[in-house]
Amino acid sequence: MGVNSNYKRLALYAAGTVAVYALIKLLVLSGFINPYWQRVLDQSMIVAIGALGLSVIFGISGQFSIGHAAFYGIGAYTAGLVTKSLGGEAAAFLAALVAGVFMAALVAFLFGLPVLRLTSDYLGIATLGFGVICKVGFDNANKVIPAMGGATGMTGVPQVADFDWIFLFFILSIVLARNFVQSAQGRSCMALREDEVAANVIGINIFRYKMLAFVFGCGLAGLAGALYAHRYPFLHPSNFDFLPSVDFLIIVVLGGMGSLTGTVVTAIGWVFLLEVLRAVLGMAFMDWRGVIYALILVVTILVRRQGLFGNKEYGFLAPRVFKAKEGPNATVKG
């Protein structure tokens, strides 16, 4: 594959992205997507950004986390505080996003220092505990910083994150996650997911790469949270407790462990599923929504136990295949 065709691919993807953006814009302007579904769409992209973070932590690097929503919450509250005090101009908004990402990454780093030594289920339980602790923290935050609202929720964050911003960061996150996964660092993370001892033996500093993936993934969660804070006027601690963490986990596993494509598609599908069920069922059967949602989850897992996309990647996210010109074992998957 030559340099030229690389640029061609890139141009193709860029054109595709612009086309999707234009199409959605057109649908919105023509009234085909009403504000309600616009909101669902925005929400689905925000969830996808957060889920990409967990996908890097768990799917790619194998670090089990059931506390992802805590970092989502840290990003949301931090960013919310920044714009609440600085106002909603574009510069302040961007500063808030940076602050949200930075705060989530910093907390992830400090929490990861002692905790990432744990493995498998023990790490999961520790992150779950961290999630509960953060929830209690958000509940009582108003005692330290009154603007955070505590258990009654935080209001008054300027709602400046429109579809354009969210779409931009959605695409950026995908590019970032994909480049991380396909870098040498990403490969090291995959190696330690497969076998920590073997990875260590071939010279990978396990702890360093665990930390790298964890901080990166939590940073994405922070970005998602920061966007969320500027899209939904009401932040409540229950948006960031155990159940949203489980949602992220479901998305990553259901999409297929180790597949970023799966994560993105499932995240969007999962958010839409709930809303479509709401639209389809009507008021009389609204009670059944949770039941059907749960059934779909269980049946999907039973039918496709490798997740919807297995560990395969498609399109832009697929790693390029390099073909050597000669030699008996010419094909090396990149």
Partner 1 sequence: MEYFLEQVINGLQLGMVYALIALGYTMVYGIVRLINFAHGDVFMVGAFIGYFGFTNWNMPWPLAIVVAMIICAALGMTIERLAYRPLRYAPRIMALIAAIGVSFFIEYFCSLKFMFGPNYRVVQRPFEEVYWSIGGVTISNIQVLIFVTAVIMLIGLQYLVYRTKLGAAMRTLSFDHDTARLMGVNVDRTISLTFGIGAALAAVGGVLYAIAYPQIFTFMGIMPGLKAFTAAVLGGIGLIPGAMLGALIMGQAEVMTAAFISSQLRDMIAFSILILVLLIKPTGILGKTQPEKV
Residues that bind partner 1 (CB under 8 A): 64, 114-115, 117-119, 121-122, 124-126, 128-130, 132-133, 135-137, 139-140, 197, 242, 246, 249-250, 253-254, 257, 287-291, 293-295, 297-298, 301-302, 305
In the bound complex, what is the minimum distance in angstroms from residue 323's beta carbon to partner 1? 32
Considering the complex, state which of residue 70 and residue 220 has its C-beta at the smaller distance from partner 1.
Answer: 70
Q: Which two tokens stand for residue 40?
A: 């669902």
Considering the complex, state which of residue 132 and residue 171 has its C-beta at the smaller distance from partner 1.
Answer: 132
In the bound complex, what is the minimum distance in angstroms from residue 5's beta carbon to partner 1? 37
- Is there a contact between 104 and 71 (Cβ–Cβ < 8 Å)? yes
Considering the complex, state which of residue 257 and residue 264 has its C-beta at the smaller distance from partner 1.
Answer: 257
DSSP state of 286: T
Considering the complex, state which of residue 131 and residue 158 has its C-beta at the smaller distance from partner 1.
Answer: 131
Tell which residue, 213, 269, 179, has the closest CA to residue 64: 213
In the bound complex, what is the minimum distance in angstroms from residue 91's beta carbon to partner 1? 36
Tell which residue, 110, 316, 116, 72, has the closest CA to residue 217: 72
How far apart CA 307 and CA 311 sit, in angstroms, is 8
Tell which residue, 46, 27, 56, has the closest CA to residue 235: 46
Considering the complex, state which of residue 40 and residue 252 has its C-beta at the smaller distance from partner 1.
Answer: 252
In the bound complex, what is the minimum distance in angstroms from residue 28's beta carbon to partner 1? 33
In the bound complex, what is the minimum distance in angstroms from residue 295's beta carbon to partner 1? 6
Which residues pair with residue 205 across a beta bridge? none
Measure CA of the first residue to CA of the last residue in the chain; give whole Å: 12
Alpha-carbon dihedral of residues 290, 291, 295, 298, nearest 10 degrees? Answer: 60
The helix (run of H) or strand (run of E) holding residue 198 is helix 196-201
In the bound complex, what is the minimum distance in angstroms from residue 287's beta carbon to partner 1? 5
SS3 323: strand
Considering the complex, state which of residue 25 and residue 289 has its C-beta at the smaller distance from partner 1.
Answer: 289
